[in-house]
Amino acid sequence: GTLGGLGLALGLWRRQAALAAAREDEEEKELRQRFMAPPVSGLRELRRRRRELRSRMELLIMETQAEMCRALADLDPGASFAVDSWERKEGGGGISCVLQDGEVFEKAGVNVSVVSGLLSEEAARQMRSRGKSLKAKDGKLPFCAMGVSSVIHPKNPHVPTMHFNYRYFEIEEADGTKQWWFGGGTDLTPTYLNEEDAVHFHKTLKEACDKHDLKLYPKYKKWCDDYFYIKHRGERRGIGGIFFDDVDSPSKEEVFQFVKSCAKAVVPCYIPIVKKHCHDSFTPEEKLWQQLRRGRYVEFNLVYDRGTKFGLLTPGSRIESILMSLPLTARWEYMHNPPESSKEAEILEVLRNPKDWVH
């Protein structure tokens, strides 16, 4: 009787194991279809550590990348994303998805990176300069960083450029304690001002913030206006959105849930604006103004943007992915000034004096 019972139990266990394996394979297949490419950490590893925040964040950035790429591809069916998985010899890697020379988008990139290793001295200095106290062991600071980053440059000057980035950072100090924080944001850079679009964009981001705390949107909207400031021009890069960095309270879970709400808002805040304007007619003069505004975009990214600087200071980082944010074409004219009371002067006024779009 005992042997018979053991045989039954063994048979049942085998059946359950086979079912579990089949379920795992199914889950893996479904995940693979959901993403643009296999995740950097590998599906098995992510599933094994699925309760850990690092794994959940990696799944979130992979999903955000796929959602945005599919939404963009639907609007530009003649174009396709080049999907490029890359490895970093110092640890980790990433997936770059870039669409170029489409009908609607001149250049659209959505990148994911998951990197680890030792923080370079320059990168550590940059962090300390913003108030981080980092205690290195023998001058070494192990770190792990992951994020999704996107810049979309449309062809039509009546469709705004959009940027978003959501990231997580972890550093292990000399005594083994871990410092962690989240950063990110979503912002809009129109060539011409459309108040209705500006309100829609800001309202969608405000709703995402308000689910967590009513103080977040005004705080992060101001941070965005202050951060994307081209000091040497005395103007903002665009009409803002939200931006935050070094956020490590109230708790890891609460900040993660907030970041998730923001990431889920990127498609609804932007795609309706593209749909609305991608077939608008435009003049050669309007195209020229777009090229000049793109020049400003480049100036901000190369002179001030912290993410670009961090990437360029990190050994083994992938330059092509870091500079994906730059437009395919831009223009710098000597002493260009738009006529007073023109549509071009109208956007400059808003870039010099940010507006409250939601009240």
Residues 145-171: pLDDT tens digits? 999 999 999 999 999 999 999 999 998
121-140 mean pLDDT: 74
- What pLDDT, on the 0 to 100 scale, is given for residue 142? 86
Out of 18-32, 74-88, 128-142, which region has the weakest mean confidence (pLDDT)?
18-32
Q: Is residue 43 part of a domain?
A: yes
Mark whether 163 is an active-site residue.
yes
- What pLDDT, on the 0 to 100 scale, is given for residue 111? 96
Residues 220-246: pLDDT tens digits? 999 999 999 999 999 999 999 999 999
Q: Give the tokens for residue 289.
A: 């103004």
Given a cut of 90, whether residue 291 has pLDDT beyond it is yes
Q: Is residue 135 part of a domain?
A: no
- Which domain covers residue 324, as residue numbers? 34-115+146-352
Cα 306 to Cα 119: distance, rounded to the nearest angstrom: 15
Q: Is residue 136 part of a domain?
A: no
- What pLDDT, on the 0 to 100 scale, is given for residue 47? 86
Q: Is residue 120 part of a domain?
A: no
Out of 13-17, 89-93, 195-199, 251-255, which region has the weakest mean confidence (pLDDT)?
13-17
Q: Is residue 266 part of a domain?
A: yes
Least Cα distance to 87 among 121, 39, 144, 140 occurs for: 39
- What pLDDT, on the 0 to 100 scale, is given for residue 359? 87
pLDDT band, residue 1 (cuts 50/70/90): low
Q: Is residue 12 part of a domain?
A: no
Higher confidence at residue 217 or residue 178? 217
Q: Is residue 25 part of a domain?
A: no
- What pLDDT, on the 0 to 100 scale, is given for residue 234? 96
The share of the chain scoring above pLDDT 70, in percent, equals 95
Cα 162 to Cα 154: distance, rounded to the nearest angstrom: 9
Q: How many domains does the chain have?
A: 1
Q: Is residue 16 part of a domain?
A: no
- Collect all residues with Cβ–Cβ distance below 8 Å to 86 and sequence separation of at least 6: 93, 94, 95, 96, 318, 321
Cα 345 to Cα 349: distance, rounded to the nearest angstrom: 6
Residues 9-56: pLDDT tens digits? 787 888 887 776 676 666 666 666 789 999 999 988 888 898 899 999
Q: CATH number for the domain including 95?
A: 3.40.1500.10
Q: What are the Cα distances from residue 173, in Å, to 52, 118, 140, 179, 339?
A: 20, 11, 9, 8, 56
- What pLDDT, on the 0 to 100 scale, is given for residue 75? 97
Mean pLDDT for the chain overall: 91
- What pLDDT, on the 0 to 100 scale, is given for residue 3? 66
- What pLDDT, on the 0 to 100 scale, is given for residue 273? 98
- What pLDDT, on the 0 to 100 scale, is given for residue 32? 66
Q: Which of 163, 200, 202, 277 is catalytic?
A: 163
- The 3-state secondary structure of the chain reads CHHHHHHHHHHHHHHHHHHHHHHHHHHHHHHHHHCCCCCCCCHHHHHHCCCCHHHHHHHHHHHHHHHHHHHHHHHCCCCCCEEEEEECCCCEEEEEEEEECCCCEEEEEEEEEEEEEECCHHHHHHHHHCCCCCCCECCECEEEEEEEEEEEEECCCCCCEEEEEEEEEEEECCCCCEEEEEEEEEEEECCCCCHHHHHHHHHHHHHHHHCCCCCHHHHHHHHHHHHCEECCCCEECCCCEEEEEEECCCCHHHHHHHHHHHHHCHHHHHHHHHHHHCCCCCCHHHHHHHHHHHHHHHHHHHHCCHHHHHHHHCCCCCHHHHHHHCCCCCCCCCCCCCCCCCHHHHHHHHHHCCCCCCC
Given a cut of 90, whether residue 122 has pLDDT beyond it is no
